[in-house]
């Protein structure tokens, strides 16, 4: 399981880096899908099979599809890729690189101190997730559902306005 964890997390890091540096939108999104699949595998090796399945179904299977849909609808072509390449000058990388180095230093120092702790390999069943969500975290679930309801009403209103005008 440990080897699987390291391979999957390595792929996740690599594909995320590639997703950031691609100039072509669809290619970047494809690497992001690979990254999400790798993260799902990481979850699975840590015993969270349910979270892994949801990661694939919700993120890779629905949200990124919508992003691809958007990129397709805009159908930007070569000019956008060229512009994107222009934006990615080395100077742009300075800020993010500093922040990234700070984070990395933090992790390295934690690892060096040796109290990173082996992740617990308790297998979490869908039942446990459900009990946790509708038990101690009920308030969060309700708040999230209210937020989603507001978003739904907003989307409906926008589409309604468009139809009324058109």
User: Where does this chain bind other proteins (CB under 8 A)?
Assistant: 24, 26-27, 30, 33, 49-50, 52-54, 56-57, 60-62, 65-66, 68-69, 71-73, 75, 125-126
Nearer to other proteins, 82 or 99 (CB): 82
**Least distance (Å) from other proteins to the CB of residue 108?**
34
**Least distance (Å) from other proteins to the CB of residue 129?**
11
- For 26, 99, 112, the CA distances from 102, given in Å and listed in that order, are 30, 5, 15
Contact 68, 29 (CB under 8 A): yes
**Least distance (Å) from other proteins to the CB of residue 91?**
29
Cβ burial of 143 (10 Å; 0-12, 13-18, 19+) is exposed
How many residues comprise the chain?
166
Q: How far apart are CA 78 and CA 146, in angstroms?
A: 41
Identify which of 93, 79, 85 has the alpha carbon closest to the alpha carbon of residue 28: 85
Nearer to other proteins, 7 or 49 (CB): 49
**Least distance (Å) from other proteins to the CB of residue 61?**
3
Nearer to other proteins, 7 or 30 (CB): 30
């Amino acid at each position: 399981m440990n080897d699987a964890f390291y391979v999957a997390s390595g792929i996740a890091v690599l594909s995320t880096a590639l997703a950031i540096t691609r100039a072509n939108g669809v290619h970047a999104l494809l690497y992001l899908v690979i990254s999400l699949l790798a993260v799902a595998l990481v979850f699975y090796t840590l015993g969270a099979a349910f979270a892994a399945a949801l990661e694939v179904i919700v993120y890779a299977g629905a949200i990124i599809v919508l992003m691809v849909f958007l990129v397709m609808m805009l159908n930007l072509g070569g000019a956008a890729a060229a512009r994107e390449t222009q934006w990615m000058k080395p100077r742009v990388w300075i800020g993010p690189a500093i922040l990234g180095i700070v984070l990395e230093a933090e992790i390295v120092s934690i690892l060096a101190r040796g109290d990173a702790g082996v992740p617990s390999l308790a297998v979490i069943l869908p039942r446990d997730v459900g009990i946790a969500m509708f038990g101690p975290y009920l308030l969060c679930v309700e708040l999230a559902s209210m937020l989603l309801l507001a978003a739904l009403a907003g989307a409906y209103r926008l589409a309604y306005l468009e139809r009324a005008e058109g």
